[in-house]
Amino acid sequence: MKAQELLAQIRPLWLQRVSQSLTRAAGAREAFQDELNRFFDGLEQAVMTGNPAWLDPAIYEWTGSPTLSDLQQNQQNVSQMLNSIITITNDIAIENLSEQDALDLLSTITPIYTYGLEKIARLEMEARVAYITKELVEVRQTLEKLDRSKSNFISVAAHELKTPLTLIEGYAAMMRDLVAQNGNKQIDTLLSGVNIGISRLHEIINDMLDVSLIDNDLLSLNLQPLWINQLLNLLKREMEPVIEERRQTLEIRDFPGGETWIYADPERLYQAFKNVISNAVKFTPDKGQITIDGRSLPGFIEITITDTGIGISPENQSEIFEKFGQLGRINLHSSGKTKFKGGGPGLGLPITRGIIEAHGGTIWIESTGFDEEKCPGSTFHILLPIRTERIDPKIAKLFSKLEKQASEPDVKENPPTHTPPA
C-alpha cells in the first residue's frame, strides 16, 4: 500500500488525537483542527511529490507570530509541537497499521518531518535573533539618551553653580578688605580657608564644563608653536610644593622629541599633563618616584609618565578614562587633590583623554596590577602627532579620528617597538 493511502487511512484518528493532545479548550480545539487539516494536506502533498516544502505554509503560519514571553524566555513552542506530532504519528502508525505498513509509512514521512523540524528551528532562531537585536537597539538608544542627559546635567549644573560661587567669592573679597582695615588676623585666617574652598570649587566647575564640551564635541583648540620640554618644566615648577609636601621625587628626563617644535594648544596640553602627573602623585605613596620620559617616532612624540604607586588592575585600566570613574571604596579615600589616594570627582583623566584625542593623539596606561604593599606602579603613555604648521581645528579633529584609528590598536599591542604611521 502506498504511503499516501496509509496517511489517508490514519488521518481521522491523527486529527483527533493531535488536537486533543495539543489543545485543552473545546473551542480552541475546533479552530486548531483547521490548521491541522492544512498541515496534513501539506504532508500528503509532500509524500506524493517527494518535496517537503509543501509543509512551508503551515510552518510559516505557526512560527510567524511568537508571543513576547516566548521570545523573552527563548521558548521553542513550535518545535515542541512538531515533536509531539511526530510522536503521535509514530504511535498511531504502530497501533493501527501492520508492521510492514507502519515501517513503510514512517520511513517515508520521517525525512519530511526532519525537514520541518530544521525549518522551524531556523525560523525560531531568526525570530529570537531579531528580538534580541531589537532589544539591544532599544538598550543602546536608552543608554545614549541617558548619556546625553548626564552631559546636559553636567553642563547645566556647572553653569548654575558659577553664579552663587561668584557671589560668595565677591562677598569674601569684600570681607577680606574690611578685615585688612581692622587688622583681625583670626578672621583673615578663616577667610583664607574660604578662598581655598572657592578655588577648589572653581576647579571642579571648570572640569565639569570641560567634560560637557568634550562630550558634545565642542572642545576648541588654540594651536600655537610650543616645545614639550618647556611645557613639562613649567609644570614641574608648579608641582614642586606638592612634591615636597609628599616627599616625592619628580624627574623629567631629556628625550628625543622634547625639543621638537610642534603646533598644539599649550594651555590644554598643560592641563592634560597636569592631570596625569597629579594622578601619579595621588596614587604614589610618600617618598615615591615619578619619572617623565619620552621618545620620538615618525610623525609622533610619545611622552611617558611612570610612577612607583599602587598600580591598577588590567580590567580597570579603561574605567579610569570614563567620567566619574572611581576605583575602590569612595568612603575610604582621603580628602584633598594630592594626598595619598585622595578623592575627586573623577573627571581629570577623561578630560585629559578628550584633550589628547582632540590633538589627534591617544593615551593609555600600562600596569601589572594593583598592590598597595608592593607598589608595582603605572605608566601613562601619551602619543601626540608632530604638526609643524597650524591647521584649521575642524580639519585637525578629522585627522585626530583618522590617526587614532590607524595608530591606537597597534601601539597598545606593542608599545616598545611599534612605529605609528605619519
C-alpha–C-alpha distance, residues 113 and 236, integer Å: 78
- Name 406's Cβ contacts closer than 8 Å, sequence gap at least 6: 420, 421
Separation between Cα atoms, residue 395 and residue 391, nearest integer Å: 7
The 10s digit of each residue's pLDDT in 338-378 is 677 776 677 889 999 999 999 999 999 999 999 988 999 99
Radius of gyration of the chain (CA): 36
Q: Is residue 380 a contact partner of residue 304, using CB atoms and an 8 Å limit?
A: yes
The C-alpha atoms of residue 112 and residue 50 are separated, in whole angstroms, by 8
C-alpha cell at position 176: 577680606
DSSP string, 93-150: HHHHS-HHHHHHHHHHHHHHHHHHHHHHHHHHHHHHHHHHHHHHHHHHHHHHHHHHHH
Is residue 327 within 8 Å of residue 346, measured between CB atoms? Answer: no
What was the pLDDT predicted at 217? 80
pLDDT at 70: 55
Task: With a cut of 70, list the residues of the chain below it in pLDDT.
Answer: 1, 24-31, 65-76, 150, 325-338, 343-344, 389-422
Q: What are phi and psi of 359, to 5 degrees?
A: -85, -5
How many angstroms separate the CA atoms of 144 and 298, rounded? 37
8 A C-beta contact, residue 223 and residue 264 = yes
What does the DSSP assignment read for 214-263?
A: HHTT------EEEEHHHHHHHHHHHHHHHHHHTT-EEEE---TTTT-EEE
Q: How far apart are CA 323 and CA 346, in angstroms?
A: 6
Please tell me the distance from the alpha carbon of residue 259 to that of residue 250, in angstroms, as a whole number: 19
